[in-house]
Structure 1
Amino acid sequence: MTADRPPAPAFEEAVGARIAAARLWAVHQAPYLASAVFALKPVILEPALDEDTGEPVADPDFRAFPADTRWNLYVEPGTVLATPVEEVGWWMLHQVGHLVRGHAARSPVRPEAGQEMSHAAGAVRDEEAHRWNQAADAEINDDLEAEDLRGPAGVVSPKELGLPANRTAEEYVPMLDVLAQAMGRGGRALAEAIDCGGAVDGQVRAYEDDGSGDGLTRLDQELLERSIAAGIQDRISTRSEVPSGWRRWAEDRLLPSVNWRARLGAMIRRGVSTVAGQVDFSHRRPSRRAGAYIDIVPPSMVRAVPDTVLVIDTSGSVTNDVLNRLLAEVTGIIEGVAGPNRRLRAFCCDVHPHPVQVVRRAGDIKLVGGGGTDMRAAIAAAMALRPRPDLVIVLTDGETPWPEQRPAAHVVLCLIGDGGHAPAWASVARVPADPPRRVPAKGES
């Protein structure tokens, strides 16, 4: 299926009318997404015609009305004419969800440069991409179900699968893996292989090759997202109903920026004070009441100095310059809380953890590694250290899987850049990958 030429004129009017009706239906069902629905740009593909009747034939590969990251909605004439208006409108809201929630940027799928993913559901697809598509669908469909908008047959439904509500795609991935394995042993499939297009994983499909849909620029998308978030907040302030997933997205989208250094410092100090608040008896310093005893030296209460381990993601997606800058920030904070010249254990990790380094300064840490990343291995390695750390500080861009269970130690996560994700059990401070340079003061060189 290509977009080399427009559909036959006989179908254009009917296709346009069906899309217009679907837009109005979608806007009526979710008015807080009206501007997003109208921002979708339909790109009409060449129809597949029946050899005998000349009528357009529906193509099941386009049943989801796939979109790309430029907000182009790819419409196959036979499919749209064979699909009820309400279902077309449902898919419009679904694709808006992928685009506004930034699923393409959050996708763990990273094919090699120039690799093109197959569009056909029957073709061999990367399993990671397929599962991410389903998990992203679950995140969106959960909110559509909250509006009593049930999806078409075959789509992933958290409610029908018995999955918890109000979770992110990153949280749904491991849940769907477990369900798929269990259902596979019974000879059943978790859900149909539906491809939502580049909007879900950022990869270019074959039907986009002609470049006919210019779509929205990044600035246009930024302004549109802010407008949608502000509209949702306005509805919330008037006590109008908005699904919880869209509420959280709007709050995060309009959250004012904070001083990341102050937040990072507060997170580390809070972690240090949490474990340092544990006290115990020690004979290393006699009790002030020792004079009241004969032949007995009672212990005194002491506050433990937390054992801190620093984990550095050296997978290659974060530059050494950024890591060195953050290492100086982090070790400076630790020194201010726990005291100067204190030894610190640190280790680098990509797919596997590297040997532990015992250092006194950030400059003593040697950054080693490269390639992929798996912070599950890093957290497991930190918990296996003896003595086991009280506090674990992780420097990463978050493009990695995380342990499902909360580790025994308190974890502070320095999430570098705008992408990536963090586990629910970690204290998170998001830091810029490339902060703006400081303007020299007058008299400075």
Structure 2
Amino acid sequence: MSADGPRAPAHEEKVRARIAAARLWAAHQAPYLASAVFALKPVILEPALYEDTGVPVADPEFRAFPADTRWNLYVEPGTALVTPVEEVGWWMLHQVGHLVRGHAARSPVRPQSGHEVSHAVGAARDEEAHRWNQAADAEINDDLEAEDLHGPAGVVSPAGLGLPANRTAEAYVPMLDVLAQAMGRGGRALAGAIDCGSAVDGQERAYEDGGSGDGLAGLDRELLERSIAAGIQDRISARSEVPSGWRRWAEERLRPSVNWRARLGATIRRAVSVVAGQVDFSYRRTSRRAGAHTGIVLPSMVRAVPDTVLVIDTSGSVTDDVLSRLLAEVAGIIEGVAGPDRRLRALCCDVRPHPVQVVRRASDIELVGGGGTDMGAGIAAAMALRPRPDLVIVLTDGETPWPGQRPAAHVVACLIGDGGHAPEWASVARVPADPPRRTPAKGES
């Protein structure tokens, strides 16, 4: 929609020129999102005009250039004309983040039904929607900051608020609640009210009427997202820099749905096989090639069972229940490869490693610790043990520092949940944060 009157075409032309410039800026800053930026469809709204000059009046409600789930970008002319091109481009990348990460589908705020709600219920819904918008902003803004693209004043920044980076919106909601309460007691607000549109919570806005019927259809969105994910994977393969949040999204978007237990088992068995491939001579069993007539006893070739150490993240970000279940899975896999009744060394680690535990069963491991997280310290402690391990299996959510260099032992990182990361030199298996209990097989109790 455009304004009536003779000046409207000129205003619209200026707005479209600014949007085009902002697209180019955004695509240059984040090339892996260029196709998404150019897929946004600007919908120019009708502006309010100053009576004396006919110039569009900027409306703060549209400072975020809100979008809907059909990839329509709503542009209020007065706001667009007073916003620097770089800032418009930043908001485009921000809105692409909401759309591609599926924040509307993940939103805990359900679309309003036709019947009226009480004032108290409506206020609670508004507060819930506002908090979800902030949490979703936090999820994507740290990736923009990783590209040195810092947002306008008033946007939620995990770094600026002292919150951990690379978390999901669902994880940021309770953090922001606690932070908002603490700041409220001091008479300060957490952040200004910024509305990113239905792209973030799925609730249709009044300004979407009329112009929102167009945009990307479901199949087009599916193809676009797969193209973006494939492009990100290509950049990673070429060792180009991509923020960790987008790396994780692309990995999950293209990852086929497979049984996590099978994936975990295959990763550990492959690591054990690599380490166990280091064969040696042993006189425990003589070689079949030894001839009785020579009187010489020759050693046979044997494959050593790798010495394995578990490093367990007990910082508190992963519950003991989840760790206990995962420990049982890992111990069962190791037992199947290395044989039963083998002693297993385990190190619990938060910000520092705790004393090593030597056990025969995973259930014997005592989970101790709490506080910060540094799996680098746990791996260093494991490598200092004697005998030195051949294989180190780390159970963590991945929100931790890692050693700067590859350890001498092979490392398998069991990443719990969808967040976190592991270094390139580690073998990685992702497992759900709350793995379902194994269904007993026929004949099992």
TM-score by length of 1: 0.59
Shift of 1:263: 0.8
Shift of 1:26: 5.6
Change (3 A) 1:439 1:272: closer
CA distance in 1, matches of 2:405, 2:88: 39
The residue number in structure 2 matching 1:197 is 155
Secondary structure class of the residue paired with 2:292: helix
Secondary structure class of the residue paired with 1:207: coil
Contact 2:348 2:368 in 1 (8 A): yes
CA distance in 1, matches of 2:260, 2:373: 24
Alignment map for 1:279-318 (pairs within 5 Å): 279-288=279-288, 289=290, 291-294=292-295, 296-318=296-318
The residue number in structure 2 matching 1:216 is 200
Contact 1:42 1:74 in 2 (8 A): yes
Post-superposition Cα deviations, 1:303-333, rounded to whole Å, max 9, x if no partner, equal: 1110011111111111111111111111111
CA distance in 1, matches of 2:203, 2:435: 20
Post-superposition Cα deviations, 1:343-392, rounded to whole Å, max 9, x if no partner, equal: 11111111111111111111111111112211111111111111111111
Give the CA RMSD over aligned residues: 5.5
Contact 1:348 1:354 in 2 (8 A): yes
Secondary structure class of the residue paired with 2:200: coil
Secondary structure class of the residue paired with 2:335: helix
One-letter identity of the residue aligned with 2:292: G
The residue number in structure 1 matching 2:262 is 262
Match of 2:223 among 207, 210, 230: 230
Shift of 1:243: 9.4
CA distance in 1, matches of 2:224, 2:141: 33
One-letter identity of the residue aligned with 1:417: G
Contact 1:310 1:347 in 2 (8 A): yes
CA distance in 1, matches of 2:43, 2:424: 36
Change (3 A) 1:352 1:438: closer
Task: Indicate the larger mover: 247-256 or 367-376.
Answer: 247-256
One-letter identity of the residue aligned with 1:265: G
Q: Does 1:90 align with 2:89?
A: yes
The residue number in structure 2 matching 1:169 is none
The residue number in structure 1 matching 2:341 is 341
Shift of 1:94: 3.0
Contact 1:267 1:428 in 2 (8 A): yes
Shift of 1:18: 6.5
Post-superposition Cα deviations, 1:261-319, rounded to whole Å, max 9, x if no partner, equal: 1111111111111111111112333333163444x543222111100111111111111
Q: Which runs of 5+ in 1 are unaligned?
A: 1-11, 44-54, 105-115, 120-128, 139-154, 156-191
Contact 1:328 1:362 in 2 (8 A): yes
% same residue: 58
Post-superposition Cα deviations, 1:18-48, rounded to whole Å, max 9, x if no partner, equal: 766555556686773158745x9999xxxxx
The residue number in structure 1 matching 2:36 is 33
Contact 1:37 1:92 in 2 (8 A): no
The residue number in structure 2 matching 1:110 is none
Change (3 A) 1:290 1:317: farther
Q: Does 1:206 align with 2:207?
A: no
The residue number in structure 2 matching 1:392 is 392
Contact 2:226 2:254 in 1 (8 A): no
Shift of 1:196: 8.6
Alignment map for 1:132-211 (pairs within 5 Å): 134-135=145-146, 137=147, 197-198=155-156, 205-208=190-193
One-letter identity of the residue aligned with 1:393: I
CA distance in 2, matches of 1:409, 1:348: 18
One-letter identity of the residue aligned with 1:33: A
Q: How many residue pairs were aligned?
A: 346
Q: Which runs of 5+ in 2 are unaligned?
A: 1-7, 28-32, 46-55, 104-130, 135-139, 159-164, 177-189, 205-215, 238-246
Contact 2:313 2:349 in 1 (8 A): yes
Contact 1:282 1:300 in 2 (8 A): yes
Secondary structure class of the residue paired with 1:208: coil
Change (3 A) 1:305 1:254: closer
Contact 1:350 1:374 in 2 (8 A): yes
CA distance in 2, matches of 1:366, 1:257: 33
The residue number in structure 2 matching 1:427 is 427
TM-score by length of 2: 0.59
Secondary structure class of the residue paired with 1:282: strand
Contact 2:87 2:151 in 1 (8 A): no
Post-superposition Cα deviations, 1:139-180, rounded to whole Å, max 9, x if no partner, equal: xxxxxxxxxxxxxxxx5xxxxxxxxxxxxxxxxxxxxxxxxx
Secondary structure class of the residue paired with 1:411: strand
CA distance in 1, matches of 2:331, 2:322: 14
One-letter identity of the residue aligned with 2:191: A
Contact 1:226 1:253 in 2 (8 A): no
The residue number in structure 2 matching 1:150 is none
Task: Indicate the larger mover: 299-308 or 197-206.
Answer: 197-206
The residue number in structure 2 matching 1:171 is none
